[in-house]
Structure 1
């Protein structure tokens, strides 16, 4: 889950602070690392569950189609920005919200930023649910349920949210990614051991589910795993050789998609109908599994402030636009008052408490990730890029390009509606 606001550079450890300038400085290797960090996250640990719900063949096909569609729509955003850059009198389009404003005015900016705001909130809630489910499985003997663990984390997350510099937390983001890789390695190791032991029977695994609701459910999970649209324009602008971005993005998506397919397939093959919504919950309760789970949770505890930081900025930005808040926040010299600083701490604390409250009602990581993927992620990833592309480049597009854009527009809306219904009523 990415972000497109002021914290973009901080949210991705390798992204330089100059990434939003007109001249980027990042090399191809740095940009490749940024793309991977922006897209790959904890959602991958829910993919085996998506394969269980949809069937191994349907899950495989769904992940591939989601990867291709996401890649194509990311290129649409870059084309839209290039179109704006070709108009000399038009200020540079730096963010997704800027692009929304150029296409649809204030409504476009509001809609784009609102969806990204909801997406960031959804990602933050997913972090809390992920941590809660893993820790509750580790400390079963303490009778700590999901809600109890989440609210035990609240004081820690509030304290971390008061840290002014996100760069101090960036190493923990890399630490969490390392733990993700270790978790994937352990899962694959368990898969291989099951196959070699003779416990694995391919015939027992479903290729395509008979439950039609399982397909959009798995699709929502796949879209959630690929969501990183908020960072697209910043990543492209960060490159020293921006013309190489489409080719680099294609290579990154090919590798990520293959990794997703392999991990989802192997996880479902190993555990079949017993596959949990977070695959680490299926692992044997030994020291190596517990160490990885604790490492994952610890990394996410410290990267949660990075995920939620754009939400804080939006809320505080809206507050600062109000006259009464400006009087409280600044003194006559334009300096921040004690009351203003206290008000910022209070607003951040309230937001984290609200997110924790919402997370305590989430039935499970898989269901929630599919819901977020089916709704805001689908709208951000498919509907808005296709709409902006039609508005900005419509007259110059070939018939097949327009038809493809309309397919993404209509298909994205239908997917969002049907996927939401299935995620809510259950599959």
Structure 2
């Protein structure tokens, strides 16, 4: 009798699932009415985040010459690989690769494609959200400290991270990418504004500094310099991370044979990368010029005056990472909800979404509270997860599917990008892990 009842329940569940078009419910594909400028601000929100504030610190570990080469080359390589991904979104007539792993499955096969792409993509997206938990908490704490000017009781970073997380328990319930378009647009404006504040205030600081600024490498020992370079490479890789959500963003744009989605998507990407260039180059070079090798891992933490402006900039960082967290979380929500519905036969409804997404926010909050090491996290996640999905996996897929002539210009460019990306993946996490270990030596958990 029990077996019969279970069978009836399973049939009813299957009937419910049959009556629901899962693509019409999942956050990536449930709305396809985005405009080209949605692509622009989603990409700006995804890229110009915690990474840009860490670029002056990366420069202090690389120096002027190597730092400039690394940042400019990363800009050019990632713009190229982003173009490849936009082109490959609809490379099969009548089919759209709405998710990064769908493109991976097409290139590497159903099983291998999932195993290659999904772990890397999750490392990037979950890792970014953990870093943003720390960044949001640090920014709120900095605003509090600047406004109080020593007259208020100190509040632990742990509590600020919890406050930041509280906003996401609400924001995570927005159903899909297009529903957070206003949040993402506001975040993109904030990122541009606080980057310009960091640029201008650093420039003013440099102009009014009478003491000599030390531009030597940050570390004094040979080992410290080597590990510093490795960490800096990961930090730069972390700054160029939009590839992990680019296909998911493009999936929200309507497409017809006459006007494929790649046209409005690329228009938005060009606008986004113009803003990225403005923010990255100005903040990286001016921040390092102003502070030299004494710059903080987050350049805004190095700035103290004018107090109200720096407080405002940190508040903007907080607002920006609210939106950026959601941009990176949305593909994760899509994966979680797909597994719960397809594999575990849950009914797609509000309460499934509520508990799944709330659990994810809680998990990233707990990890961020446990390991709030901004500089080490950037380097570790930047090398371990961001370099593959950003620097060389698009090139490998391009070579497999487009098959450019061997030793031709396109083939050579892709091979060079692959070599650089593999090198970054292998060496840069070492520097990030070492930095986390150094930061953890004198750290009290949840203090």
- Alpha-carbon distance between aligned partners in 2 of 1:298 and 1:77, rounded to the nearest angstrom: 29
Q: 1:220 aligns with which of 221, 234, 249?
A: 234
Alpha-carbon distance change, 279 to 354 in structure 1, aligned in 2, over 3 angstroms? same
Contact 2:235 2:378 in 1 (8 A): yes
**In structure 2, what is the equivalent of residue 101 of structure 1?**
105
Instruction: Using structure 2 for the length normalisation, give the TM-score.
Output: 0.76
Alpha-carbon distance change, 303 to 193 in structure 1, aligned in 2, over 3 angstroms? closer
Helix, strand or coil for the counterpart of 1:77? helix
Q: 1:116 aligns with which of 121, 124, 145?
A: 121
Contact 2:45 2:324 in 1 (8 A): no
Alpha-carbon distance change, 79 to 398 in structure 1, aligned in 2, over 3 angstroms? farther
Deviations along 1:171-228, one digit per CA (max 9) or x if unpaired, are: 23332333333322332332332333242635x2137976123333222222221211
**In structure 2, what is the equivalent of residue 262 of structure 1?**
282
Q: CA deviation at 1:158?
A: 1.8
Contact 1:80 1:388 in 2 (8 A): no
Contact 1:123 1:307 in 2 (8 A): yes
Structure 2 counterparts to residues 9-408 of structure 1, below 5 A? 17-18=32-33, 26=36, 35-78=43-86, 80=88, 84-85=91-92, 91-106=95-110, 107-140=112-145, 141-164=152-175, 167=178, 169-199=180-210, 201=212, 204-206=214-216, 211-233=225-247, 234-235=249-250, 240=259, 242=262, 253=273, 256-257=276-277, 259-284=279-304, 286-301=307-322, 304-323=325-344, 325-326=345-346, 329=347, 336=349, 341-394=350-403, 396-408=405-417
Instruction: Using structure 1 for the length normalisation, give the TM-score.
Output: 0.79
- Alpha-carbon distance between aligned partners in 2 of 1:261 and 1:302, rounded to the nearest angstrom: 23
- Alpha-carbon distance between aligned partners in 1 of 2:413 and 2:65, rounded to the nearest angstrom: 25
Contact 1:57 1:208 in 2 (8 A): no
Q: CA deviation at 1:45?
A: 1.5
Alpha-carbon distance change, 127 to 248 in structure 1, aligned in 2, over 3 angstroms? closer
When the two chains are superposed, the root-mean-square deviation of aligned CA atoms in Å is 3.4
Alpha-carbon distance change, 58 to 91 in structure 1, aligned in 2, over 3 angstroms? same
**In structure 2, what is the equivalent of residue 333 of structure 1?**
none
Helix, strand or coil for the counterpart of 2:226? coil
- Alpha-carbon distance between aligned partners in 2 of 1:78 and 1:160, rounded to the nearest angstrom: 28
Deviations along 1:227-248, one digit per CA (max 9) or x if unpaired, are: 1113444549768585697798
Helix, strand or coil for the counterpart of 2:109? helix
Contact 2:26 2:337 in 1 (8 A): no
Alpha-carbon distance change, 112 to 30 in structure 1, aligned in 2, over 3 angstroms? same
**In structure 1, what is the equivalent of residue 18 of structure 2?**
none
Deviations along 1:119-172, one digit per CA (max 9) or x if unpaired, are: 111121111110111222333543222222212444432233234466554323
Q: How many residues align?
A: 394
Greater mean deviation of Cα atoms: 406-415 or 222-231:
406-415
Alpha-carbon distance change, 200 to 385 in structure 1, aligned in 2, over 3 angstroms? farther
